[in-house]
Amino acid sequence: MEFRDVMLGRHSVREFSPEPVDRDKISGVIEAARHAPSSQNEQPWRFYVTTGESRSRLGKVISQTTIHLSEYMDVLGPKGYEDAAHWYSELGKAPVLICVASPATEDLLAKLNRHLSVGAAIENLLLAAVDEGLAACNITYSHWVEDEIAALLGIPEDWDVLTVIAVGLPAESPAVAPAGRPDDTVWLD
């Protein structure tokens, strides 16, 4: 697949086939993530790949996020809340969940640099998933249950859980990526 096609075809998929994903494909997307640029080549990331029973346990922890969604009822509306609660209860049946963690720091510049670096690694992972014929969804609301995730996966106390990414084969294909906003660029001469 051409890179531009991968880039334009990437989008967050929320319904997955329950079919297991070949470990080599997951290793490939993790390898792509490792090649992301990072501030001072720190590579401030660790990937915790869960499948099978560990995926089920992590899914149960993340499903607790629905408790916190009630805070967003006004924003989501009844239908949005229902859709979100359904999504978090099953995580689209994705067979693989990848938790991404980074060393904790109180230094604001170091934290910014680490988060930007991890963001680049996540984008590499998401693009590599498309190239492998996989689908993915970056689950940012996992912060509500960060402590429970860290305990379950054995993440050191001096590391932060930043996100969990659902990965698998898409339930339907081809899926269409939404168009980008045309008003997000300001040109200055």
CATH code for position 28? 3.40.109.10
What is the pLDDT at residue 181?
Answer: 76
- Spatial CA neighbour of 24 closest among 49, 5, 52, 54: 49
Q: Choose the most confident range, by mean pLDDT, from 115-124, 141-150, 171-180.
A: 115-124
The parent domain of residue 27 ranges over: 3-168
Instruction: Please check whether residue 184 lies inside any domain of the structure.
Output: no
Q: Indicate the pLDDT class of residue 175, thresholds 50, 70 and 90.
A: low
Instruction: Please check whether residue 182 lies inside any domain of the structure.
Output: no
Determine the Cα–Cα distance for residues 167 and 94; give it in Å rounded to an integer. Answer: 6
Q: Three-state SS for 137? A: strand
6 alpha-carbon distance from chain centroid? 17
Q: Is the confidence at residue 186, as pLDDT, over 80?
A: yes
Instruction: Please check whether residue 138 lies inside any domain of the structure.
Output: yes
Instruction: Please check whether residue 142 lies inside any domain of the structure.
Output: yes
Q: Indicate the pLDDT class of residue 174, thresholds 50, 70 and 90.
A: low
- Spatial CA neighbour of 69 closest among 145, 126, 130: 145
- Spatial CA neighbour of 151 closest among 66, 57, 87, 56: 57
Instruction: Please check whether residue 86 lies inside any domain of the structure.
Output: yes
Q: Each residue of 84-133: pLDDT tens digit?
A: 777 788 899 999 999 999 999 999 999 999 999 999 999 999 999 999 99
- Spatial CA neighbour of 98 closest among 137, 133, 132: 137
Q: Indicate the pLDDT class of residue 63, thresholds 50, 70 and 90.
A: confident
Instruction: Please check whether residue 42 lies inside any domain of the structure.
Output: yes
Amino acid in position 57 = R
Instruction: Please check whether residue 141 lies inside any domain of the structure.
Output: yes
Q: How many domains does the chain have?
A: 1
Q: Show the tokens assigned to 48.
A: 């915790």
Overall average pLDDT of the 127-146 stretch: 90
**Given the DSSP bridges, would you call strands 135-139 and 46-50 parallel, antiparallel or unpaired?**
unpaired
